[in-house]
Structure 1
Amino acid sequence: MLWLLPALIVLTAFVYVPLVQNFGFATQRSNIFSGDSEFIGLRNFEVLIKDPIFWRSLFNNLLFAAVSVVCQVGGALVVAAAVESVRSRRLRQALRVIYFVPSAVSITVAGLLFYFIYEPDIGMLNGALNAVGLDSLTHAWLGQSSTAMIAIIIMSQWQGFGYTALLFTVAIQRVPGELYEAAQIDGIGPVRRFFSITVPLVREMSGLLTIVTVSGAFQVFNEVMVMTSGGPNNSTQVLGTWLYHNGFVRNDFGYAAAIAIVIFFVTLIIGLVQLWYTRRRKVEL
């Protein structure tokens, strides 16, 4: 207990106490600069339910989670299996480095990089479209509500894809090679081997990464702030940026605290699912 005490003190002071305080702030109308506050009960939550930007932000987080599961879990598993099927050891190592490099780039740096790629006049994307005669497809990608959120999600998938692919690579390497050899001797093709051997035997990693990816999708902040700050016309707001905007731009700290409670319960539920899944897997093993 003496060894645990310092960590418990830090966690209590900087995590649990602020967490409890936040529930109190959500029942107030607070000015974080003057320190004035007024108790208003559950009015912040009533405003939240009627706030169309909050629901837009929640939808963007859900869209982020759905695309991330497909790309960073499903797509990464396919790529990892394809790379591990390459016979050349040096080529496998080179491919692992290639798809992992984006994950080593800071999310802020990646956001700035794609900000310039999407730039409508001198950006690489529109320049490439013009070069191949697809001028009609050029856009102000971050300046139009219809494309801004998708553009941000694409950047995030590029940055995070390599990390999950590397974890799948480790999981695939733990699959006994005799199973693949026996399947190959029986004349089973690579696609069927993937679905009959690889997918079932990396199920634990797939479930864990799905939960982690969904949880991360509800804590998105940096990529949106760097690239659009929630614009244009609030079309790229997510729960984290809408919380920041209300707390530190509009000086409505009580309403920001109410949004924080929503994020807390969403991530709490995801965390409980993760614990349940881990314990179930231990029982099965």
Structure 2
Amino acid sequence: MLIPSFILLITFMYYPALIAIGFSFTNWDGFNQPQFTGFQNYIRLFKDEIFLISMKNVGVWTVIKVIVELLVPLIVAVMIFHLKSKRMQYIYRVLFVIPVVVPGIVMFMIWSFMYDPNVGVLNTLLKTLGLEGMIQNWLGDPNIALYALMFVGFPFVVPFNLLIFYAGLQSISESVYESAKLDGITRIRRFFQIEIPLVMGQVKLILILTVIQLLQNVTLPLVMTNGGPGYSSYVPGLYMYFLAFQNGEFGLGMAVSMIIFVIVLFLTWIQMKYINPSTEYKA
């Protein structure tokens, strides 16, 4: 059974990746014979103002979203885990997981409507509360468009992350909690001294997956802002899409993808090397 799986993996994963590496050193429009250009695509990118803007945007986006999408699901998972009723634990898990069935594109369209400057829910609510001074063109203002995109998904209880943290909490031995209880530990100390260290393996996994997902993010800015206004919500994945499929610069687009790959590889190595899970409770 492993051989067919390995063949499929090579055909649909490794082979396209190797092809992308090769074409990133060429000038290719997708139709004519590619022309080898060496490192010119990479040199051009690091002199390209749009690419540098997209890198800055994704850096800010990644830092903020990683913190939020780690912390909020962990806190919610802890709250659910410590409910006395197993039935209520199950009900809350189901309620938080239900949004997974909503296609991402549908969620983005709903948020686009909510952000509408004229009839959107957000501005209507602000007007109702007498906060007219806070009304904004959320997706049309280059100073706030990127942050408006980051806010999509509020309250940020990522179902996948929630379930991983919940499973991690279940793996903590009951004797650990009993020892902590005998030590008179408070809930806050329990959270920071027991639960966070003992689910650090799950933190590492979610951190890696979240960073990869954010660096490859294309659909959200494409659907909601198309990278605008101007280049204020450009990210590398979106710029790669425009270069390849709108401008016909497939070689340059693949160079962007290789830069993303190297960044992901480096960040993954850092996380694997320096984030180590604890296995015991230290009073």
Q: Secondary structure at the match of 1:59?
A: helix
How far apart are the structure 2 equivalents of 1:225 and 1:246? 13
Of residues 229, 242, 248, the one that matches 1:251 is: 248
Of residues 2, 7, 10, the one that matches 2:8 is: 10
- Answer yes or no: is the 8 Å Cα contact 2:200–2:277 preserved in 1: no
Of residues 205, 212, 221, the one that matches 2:202 is: 205
- Answer yes or no: is the 8 Å Cα contact 1:80–1:166 preserved in 2: yes
> Does 2:204 correspond to 1:196?
no
> Does 2:127 correspond to 1:130?
yes
Partner in structure 2 of residue 164 of structure 1: 161
Partner in structure 2 of residue 110 of structure 1: 107
TM-score by length of 1: 0.88
Q: Secondary structure at the match of 1:81?
A: helix
Partner in structure 1 of residue 87 of structure 2: 90
Distance 1:185 1:226, change over 3 A: same
Partner in structure 1 of residue 60 of structure 2: 63
- Answer yes or no: is the 8 Å Cα contact 1:76–1:168 preserved in 2: yes
Instruction: Give the residue type in structure 2 aligned to 1:95.
Output: Y
Partner in structure 2 of residue 236 of structure 1: 233
Partner in structure 2 of residue 20 of structure 1: 18
Distance 1:18 1:90, change over 3 A: closer
Distance 1:156 1:268, change over 3 A: farther
Shift of 1:111: 1.0
- Answer yes or no: is the 8 Å Cα contact 1:230–1:241 preserved in 2: yes
How far apart are the structure 2 equivalents of 1:110 and 1:243? 23
- Answer yes or no: is the 8 Å Cα contact 1:156–1:223 preserved in 2: no
Distance 1:186 1:14, change over 3 A: closer
> Does 2:28 correspond to 1:30?
yes
Q: Secondary structure at the match of 1:251?
A: coil
- Answer yes or no: is the 8 Å Cα contact 1:102–1:159 preserved in 2: no
Partner in structure 2 of residue 262 of structure 1: 259
Q: Which protein has the bigger helix share?
A: 1
The C-alpha deviation readout for 1:117-168, integer Å capped at 9, x for no partner, is 1111111111111111111111111111111111112214656622211211
Q: Secondary structure at the match of 2:143?
A: helix
Q: Secondary structure at the match of 2:117?
A: coil
TM-score by length of 2: 0.88
How far apart are the structure 1 equivalents of 2:108 and 2:175? 43
Q: How many residues align?
A: 280
- Answer yes or no: is the 8 Å Cα contact 1:246–1:253 preserved in 2: yes
The C-alpha deviation readout for 1:189-247, integer Å capped at 9, x for no partner, is 21111112211211211122112211221111111212112111011111111000011
- Answer yes or no: is the 8 Å Cα contact 2:197–2:277 preserved in 1: no
- Answer yes or no: is the 8 Å Cα contact 1:103–1:159 preserved in 2: no
Partner in structure 1 of residue 139 of structure 2: 142
How far apart are the structure 2 equivalents of 1:282 and 1:80? 19
Q: Secondary structure at the match of 2:152?
A: helix
Where does the alignment leave 5 or more consecutive residues of structure 2 unmatched?
none
Shift of 1:108: 1.5
Shift of 1:28: 2.0
How far apart are the structure 2 equivalents of 1:8 and 1:173? 34
- Answer yes or no: is the 8 Å Cα contact 2:199–2:277 preserved in 1: no
Of residues 60, 74, 98, the one that matches 1:101 is: 98
Instruction: Give the residue type in structure 1 aligned to 2:134.
Output: L
Instruction: Give the residue type in structure 2 aligned to 1:220.
Output: N
Distance 1:213 1:47, change over 3 A: same
> In terms of mean alpha carbon deviation, does 184-193 or 157-166 score higher?
157-166
The C-alpha deviation readout for 1:44-90, integer Å capped at 9, x for no partner, is 11110111111111122222221222111122111211222222333
Distance 1:242 1:111, change over 3 A: same
